[in-house]
Amino acid sequence: MAASLVWTCGFSNENQPVHKSRKYYEAHQDIVWEVPMEEKLIALTFDDGPNPKTTPEILDLLAENGAKSTFFVVGKRMERFPEVVRREALEGHEVANHTYSHLYFTKGVSRKRIVEELEQAQNQIIDLTGQNCQWFRPPGGFYTDTVVDTVRKNGYTVILWSWHQDTQDWLAPGVSRIVNKVLNNARNGDIVLLHDHVDGSTQTVQALRTILPELKKRGFKMVTVSELLRHRKPKT
């Protein structure tokens, strides 16, 4: 059913038609967009890597600012740059699943193919890092009810991002746009969408040189998705 398909990457999806609502998925904890909390914690997440140049630069900046993050990695790129993924884990970051081939999970993708993409990438993550993180981010933010159900049955939770924290850095919109998107909208419990691999662009790295120290100055602690979820505000 077309109504069960959502594409969240680069678009405001507040009015997108879905078969099951955000409220439903949040109530069942099948998809996480952000984490309500009192603490000043924020999760910077990076998609599509590893990249042999920009990912190490990002890791350097994270280390300088005492920040931890979650990297949603692509299997094919892990094969090319395994040492970068190992470094992510060794430095205390979380390495999570972003499929093997960066396949968009639109409604034509079978459950079998979804599982194959998940398993192939996850096996690589375990081999390289020893981590068995159960977070999954679908490429492009594409998901359907079938995708969410298949992912859940295989032990994963879909992690998306705060709608007000889609930096669109994959479009190389300009360093100031990336900086302003994050800093003008920073709230407790945010999950920020960034990319450590964008062909031909270093704008994300440049933006982080401003974003990281400023968030720190404002009292935010930058943590992994797992750490963020541990501080989820209990329902009343």
Distance CA 11, CA 17 (A): 13
Q: Residue 20: is it exposed, middle or buried by C-beta count within 10 angstroms (0-12/13-18/19+)?
A: middle
Instruction: For 169-211, give the DSSP string.
Output: GGG---HHHHHHHHHHH--TT-EEEEES--TT--HHHHHHHHH
Instruction: Note whether 48 and 197 are within 8 A (CB).
Output: yes
**Catalytic amino acids?**
47, 195
Distance, CA of 43 to CA of 176 (rounded, Å):
20
Determine whether 191 is exposed, middle or buried from the number of CB atoms within 10 Å of its CB (0-12, 13-18, 19+). buried
